[in-house]
Amino acid sequence: MKTQVAIWAGKIIGVLSRALGHGGSTIPGIVARKLDAKFLRHSRSIAKTIFYITGTNGKTTTANLISHLLQTAGQSVMTNREGSNMVTGLSACLVQSAPLIGWKKYDVAVLEVDEASLPNAIAECPSDYLLITNFFRDQLDRYGEIDLLIKKMKDSLKYFAGNFIINADDPFSNRFSNLKKDNIYVGLNAHAYPFDSYLMTESRYCPNCQNELSYSSVHYGHLGHYHCTCGFKRPETTFAAEKVFNDKKGIRLVIDDEEYPTTFKGLYNAYNVLFAIQACQALDVKPDVLRKGLMTYQNSKGRMQEFLVNGKVWRLNLVKNPAGGNVTLSEYFEGDETKLLMFCLNDNLADGEDISWIWDIDMELANRDELELFIASGTRAHDAALRMKYTGFPEKKIIILPDMNEAVLYAKRFESPTYIMATYTCLSPMISILSKEAEKENKGDSNLETSTIPLLSRYTQSVWRQGKYYLLKKAMRMEGDFSTSRRNQKPK
């Protein structure tokens, strides 16, 4: 009865909070948990099989892909929305998925779980499968918190009876190996990638003995085939991609001699695809169904999303940590076509208030001749610009436009396409700006000629308002309207 009341209360609050204009994605969960403390345990009542997906990068994509593949196979799936991956968010998802009376049965629950929330989620409701995608060091780790995080996660999994699906190529994920026998290990075979792995800036040290790890093959970041003198080494994979090809439509994986073409752009997505296929195969989904699902999957918004602007394909990708930044850049600079790069950097709570992580991105990768212009945008545009300056990229090709609308309007004046990296809270405004641009494109009312004048007036206005018209001068200098000899002057 307590549970039923908790669900009703949660549902009512959810409706109210939405009516009041709050997103309220976790509020129903908070309410339900007030009335029924270990509310998550009811996940068992709603789904026959439960997957938890945790790790630094790839949670959302992997969870979405598994859901889609299982649905293609005709199974009913419950899943949580991105950002609702803490205990309250998971509880909210459960409240919303439950009918008013009793429990509806789903075949599968596919839930992404925040690393720090995993111990609580496991304590309330252990999953059947736990997918550990990877751990990347971020600014937190400067304080040694990744060690602590992994220790807490492992402590909570001491009596875990489900199955681990572990990324064999990640030394951090491998630390979960000694909890159980017969783990499932996914990974990429040596040299499965056709492209050069770029230099990594982060350290890769043995979690066992702190000595530097040796690699016989590096995939990206610290992911690869590693071993240490102390005996710590990459485990044998039970499920591996032999090759990953970069086709026009997307990446294609070869696994156990089966070909799996996908719609994913970006080689780093190989791991997400590999995890998803393995998870579905654990539920006996056949290769033909998987292939169909992979080709019909629509990537989530802001994940290597493409927009047609000025007849050119612009690209947008979410970047929330250095590892994500690195793979995005390597993807953007794979071809040597001329391009603009835009970095939209906000420092709201959801982005992380400490923006020093941008210094760990290999921005040097972008310091190339084919880059016509670097546009820094967002609340911390100046920090993004400064980071780019330190790659050695010419200062006069760096523009600071904190307003994202202005940044896009400015970029539109160039013939070359713009590739955009955006932090979390920049993403949805950017998607709506670009969708509008793409819409104009369809209606055919946008061309370079007419957009120039309104652009400049808009730009001038807000720049004047900020009392920072040196930004405008800088912009005009780019157009050749302003003498470069006065570059270093900053009028007050």
**Of the residues 22, 105, 382, 396, which one makes contact with other proteins according to CB under 8 A:** 382
Interaction of residue 212 with Zn ion, rule CB under 5 A: no
Distances (CA, A) of 161 to 49, 85, 97, 179, 276: 13, 22, 26, 10, 21
Interaction of residue 230 with Zn ion, rule CB under 5 A: yes
Q: Applying CB under 8 A, which part among 47-55, 67-75, 288-296, 374-382 lies near other proteins?
A: 374-382
Region 225-264 residues binding other proteins, contact defined as CB under 8 A: none
Q: Which partner from the list other proteins, Zn ion, none does 356 bind, CB cut-off 5 to 8 Å by kind?
A: other proteins
Q: The tokens of 260 are what?
A: 């799996």
Interaction of residue 142 with other proteins, rule CB under 8 A: yes
CA 159 and chain centroid, separation? 31
Of 38 and 382, which has the nearer Cβ to other proteins? 382
Considering only CA atoms, give the Rg of the chain: 24
How many residues bind Zn ion (CB under 5 A)? The answer is 6
**354 in active site:** yes
SS3 374: strand
Of 15 and 148, which has the nearer Cβ to other proteins? 148
Do 350 and 311 touch, CB atoms closer than 8 A? no
Interaction of residue 212 with other proteins, rule CB under 8 A: no
Task: Write out the DSSP string of 18-71.
Answer: HHTT---SSHHHHHHHHHSTTGGGGHHHHEEEEEEEESSSSHHHHHHHHHHHHH
Of 157 and 228, which has the nearer Cβ to Zn ion? 228
Interaction of residue 353 with other proteins, rule CB under 8 A: yes
Region 386-405 residues binding other proteins, contact defined as CB under 8 A: 386-387, 389-390, 395, 398, 400
Of 235 and 429, which has the nearer Cβ to Zn ion? 235
Residues 60, 61, 64, 70, Cα dihedral to 10°: -130
**Of the residues 379, 425, 451, 460, which one makes contact with other proteins according to CB under 8 A:** 379
98: left (phi over 0), alpha (psi -120 to 50) or beta: beta
**Of the residues 40, 206, 223, 319, which one makes contact with Zn ion according to CB under 5 A:** 206
**Neighbouring-strand partners of residue 185:** 166
Minimum distance, C-beta of residue 468 to other proteins, in the bound complex (Å): 9
Q: Of the residues 147, 155, 256, 354, which is catalytic?
A: 354
Q: Which partner from the list Zn ion, other proteins, none does 383 bind, CB cut-off 5 to 8 Å by kind?
A: other proteins
Interaction of residue 177 with Zn ion, rule CB under 5 A: no
Region 143-162 residues binding other proteins, contact defined as CB under 8 A: 143-145, 147
Interaction of residue 215 with Zn ion, rule CB under 5 A: no
Alpha-carbon span 2 to 45, nearest angstrom: 15
Alpha-carbon span 319 to 417, nearest angstrom: 19
Of 100 and 349, which has the nearer Cβ to other proteins? 349
Query: Of 78, 319, 50, 58, whose CA–CA distance to 186 is shortest?
Result: 58
Write out 341-365 in H/E/C secondary structure: EEEECCCCCCCCCCHHHHHHCCHHH
Alpha-carbon span 456 to 172, nearest angstrom: 50
Do 9 and 32 touch, CB atoms closer than 8 A? yes
Minimum distance, C-beta of residue 151 to other proteins, in the bound complex (Å): 11
Interaction of residue 218 with Zn ion, rule CB under 5 A: no
Of 14 and 224, which has the nearer Cβ to Zn ion? 224
Which residues in this chain contact Zn ion in the complex, by CB under 5 A?
206, 208-209, 228, 230, 232
Catalytic residues: 354
For binding to other proteins (CB under 8 A), which residues are involved?
139, 142-145, 147, 210, 353-356, 359, 379-380, 382-383, 385-387, 389-390, 395, 398, 400, 488, 490
